Amino acid sequence: MFQTGTNTSGTTVQALPGEQIHEEHTFKLTALGNKKLPITGQTVTLYLPPQTTFVPRSLKINGQTYTTNITTTGNKITLPNGLVKLNDEVKLEFDYKMNTTFNSTVQTHVGSFDGSVTSGATTKPIIASSNTNTITYPAEELTLLEAPKSVNFGSQELPFRRTTYNAQAAVGGRNIAPSPASSPVKPYEGYRRF
């Protein structure tokens, strides 16, 4: 599970550069019956996601703070015997910050718990692991916090093209061609807008 600010998600979370992420892994170590058998050789393995920076002293296992710094190459931490028994839960949690620049998607690593339990003359291994998760960079968008009453883009001239029209005089609905003796009709020049 991830948590950033007030946003919590089981598989995917969005984060900005510099934002702090809280990552949790919870394992329920169930067994047939309701026996609380001790688990020996308990270890947990955690990895810091790439392009992140670990927050010191943020690692907690079942509420107990550990000084181990989690790295991207992985850390195997030995737990005290008796800390967890069968049918108990193991809760691993730590914090990290996203680097100031990171790719649009960061994939986390699985967390795991290992140990062994002995019942009578039989010893069996216990292995539990979590799923990977995804951290994404939110898509950039422009948001108006306050809508303006009007928007002015300044004075914009419309494009135009010079066009020449030949004109003829008309009298009483009839076209009259100019005679050589009369003044010729001048062509009209104007601008037509698109």
Instruction: List, edge to edge, every strand of the sheet that includes 122-129.
Output: 75-78, 39-46, 112-119, 122-129
The backbone torsions φ and ψ at residue 100, rounded to the nearest 5 degrees and listed phi first, read -65, -25
Give the right CATH number for 2-136 from 3.40.47.10, 2.40.420.20, 3.40.190.10, 2.60.40.10.
2.60.40.10
Q: What is the pLDDT of residues 24-69, one digit of tens each?
A: 888 887 765 557 778 888 899 999 999 999 999 999 998 999 999 9
Q: How far apart are CA 3 and CA 21, in angstroms?
A: 6
Q: Which residues of the chain fall below pLDDT 70?
A: 1-10, 31-34, 103, 159, 165-194
Residue 135 burial by Cβ neighbours in a 10 Å radius (0-12, 13-18, 19+): buried
Are 9 and 135 a contacting pair, CB within 8 Å? no
Residues of the chain with CATH 2.60.40.10: 2-136
What's the pLDDT at 110?
Answer: 87
pTM to 2 decimal places = 0.63
What's the pLDDT at 55?
Answer: 95
**Rounded to a whole number, what is the distance in angstroms from the first to the last CA of the chain?**
60
What's the pLDDT at 53?
Answer: 93
